[in-house]
Amino acid sequence: MGHHFQLSTMWHERCPECGEGKIFDSRWHMNPNCPKCGLKFERGPGYFTGAMYFSYALGIPIITAGTLIVWWITKWPLYKSVLLVWVLFLPLVPWVFRMSRTLFIHFDRYFDPDDKPVEPPVAEG
Ligand SMILES: [Zn+2]
């Protein structure tokens, strides 16, 4: 088993199998395999379509709450509040992108684990 279905592992965008290897190697780019245990993150074509739901689940509450707070403080028209929150939200987009994929991988592996990493571990440099 050995999956790390833990908030801290997800928060730090780590591998669901070993809990150590980083899922992302840059802001927008994923490692194809876990750098520690070799787990292949993308299980098949279109695998990350499911991550879309997590990005909605993360994005919509942030934007809704943000809009309400701005609207409540400024008493601006709603469209203006929404606009401001969208602009403020933009820097969070890469985070939402990474977090939604991370959560998706973790939930998918938790409910549908497979036995062993498919690829042998990559030698560490
Ligand atoms: Zn790993």
Q: pLDDT tens-digit profile of 2-48?
A: 567 899 999 999 999 999 999 999 989 999 999 999 999 999 999 99
As given in the structure block, the two tokens for residue 121 are: 């571990």
Q: Which residues lie near ion ligand 1 (Cβ < 5 Å)?
A: 15, 17-18, 21, 34, 36-37, 39
Is the whole model's pTM more than 0.85, yes or no?
no
Segments making up each domain of the chain, as ranges: 7-111
Q: What's residue 5's pLDDT?
A: 86
Q: What is the pLDDT of residue 123?
A: 65
Q: How far apart are CA 80 and CA 60, in angstroms?
A: 17
What distance in angstroms lies between residue 57's CA and the mean position of ligand 1's atoms?
A: 25
| Residue pLDDT, tens place only, 42-87 | 999 999 999 999 999 999 999 999 999 999 999 999 999 999 999 9
Structure tokens at 81: 């509040």
C-alpha 58 to ligand 1 mean position (Å): 24
The DSSP secondary structure of 64-98, one letter per residue, reads HHHHHHHHHHH---HHHHHHHHHHHHGGGHHHHHH
Joined together, the tokens standing for residue 16 give 């669901």
Mean pLDDT to the nearest integer, 92-105: 95
End-to-end, the C-alpha distance of the chain in Å comes to 27
